[in-house]
Chains A and B, each alone.
Chain A
Amino acid sequence: AQTVTQSQPEMSVQEAETVTLSCTYDTSESDYYLFWYKQPPSRQMILVIRQEAYKQQNATENRFSVNFQKAAKSFSLKISDSQLGDAAMYFCAYRVPAGGTSYGKLTFGQGTILTVHP
């Protein structure tokens, strides 16, 4: 069974600084997707960034980038120039392509609470 582990229950960063959130996963699949979702206090789940396992290039979305190490099964999220609005719970998630009994379900990590200090 696939598992996703976020070993940092809480992280904090100063506004305008950079922070990295860690995520590791376990799978025997070669084709899969990895995601980071953000959940602010409003509880809405917001997709931050997506990485396809077959792509060697790390995904980037504005101030958010990932360090995807497929052999190490590691998928960390780097937030640059942190803003107060980045404060939220961040979830790492794994998914195989649709098809078969798993049919694309997301497997989530435990979450990391990010605090941004002004």
Chain B
Amino acid sequence: DTAVSQTPKYLVTQMGNDKSIKCEQNLGHDTMYWYKQDSKKFLKIMFSYNNKELIINETVPNRFSPKSPDKAHLNLHINSLELGDSAVYFCASSQDGGGGKGHGEQFFGPGTRLTVL
């Protein structure tokens, strides 16, 4: 009964390939996020979706394309992978309904370590 799950947990691939990371939450939350943690452990928002609608897109290269088929899922597709894409990618979710004010907590998935060779 994992709250936020991601697959795969590890992804090793060659430069130039296309790959996807999947995320699912069973908390009934209406907002989902993708964060990137770089080699120095710095965490930065990439995207945010609320009820399947893209809300935040933080100057991420066009090679990254999020897709939210429904409220419980937010997938991340990466085209033409580059060495600099190597990082840990975290999915998170929160409940922000009810007039736009939630308690603020975001629940994180276990992360996907992407290594581009």
User: Which residues of A are in contact with B by a Cβ distance under 8 Å?
Assistant: 33, 35, 37, 39, 42-45, 47, 50, 52, 89, 91, 95, 97-99, 101-108, 110-111
Q: A43-B88, A91-B43, A110-B42 are in contact. Are A103 and B31 (CB under 8 A)?
A: yes
Distance A103 CA – B92 CA, assembled complex (angstroms):
13
Question: 9 A-B Cβ contacts within 8 A?
Answer: A37-B108, A42-B110, A43-B88, A45-B92, A50-B104, A98-B31, A103-B48, A105-B33, A106-B33
Total A-B residue pairs with C-beta atoms closer than 8 Å?
A: 79
Verify if B44 is at the interface (C-beta below 8 Å from A). yes
Do B100 and A102 touch across chains, with their CB atoms under 8 A apart? no
Contact partner, A104, options B42, B104, B107, B113, Cβ 8 Å: B104
A52, closest chain B residue (CB):
B104
Are A50 and B96 in touch, CB under 8 angstroms? Answer: no
Residues in chain B within 8 A of chain A (CB atoms): 31, 33, 35, 40-45, 48, 50, 55-56, 58, 88, 90, 92, 94, 96, 100-108, 110-111, 113
Closest A residue to B107 by CB, please name it: A47
Q: Is there an interface contact between A108 and B44, defined as CB atoms closer than 8 Å?
A: yes
Cβ–Cβ < 8 Å partners of A47 in chain B:
105-107
Q: Is B96 a contact of A104 with CB atoms below 8 Å?
A: yes
Q: Give Cα A40 to B56, complex, Å.
A: 28
Which residue from A35, A44, A97, A101 sits with its C-beta under 8 Å from B56? A101
Q: Is the CB of B100 within 8 A of A98?
A: yes
Complex Cα spacing A52 to B101, Å: 12
What is the minimal beta-carbon distance from B12 to any residue of chain A, in angstroms? Answer: 16
**Set of chain B residues within 8 Å of A35, measured between Cβ atoms:** 104-105
Question: A97 to nearest B CB, angstroms?
Answer: 5
Q: Which of A33, A44, A104 contacts B111 (CB 8 A)?
A: A44
Residue of B40, B45, B107 with most partner-chain A CB within 10 A: B45
List B contacts of A98 (CB < 8 A): 31, 50, 94, 96, 100-102
* Cβ-defined contact, A89 with B45, below 8 A: no
Please name all residues of chain A whose beta carbon is closer than 8 Å to the beta carbon of B101 when the two chains form the complex: 97-99
Residues of B within 8 A of A52 (CB): 104
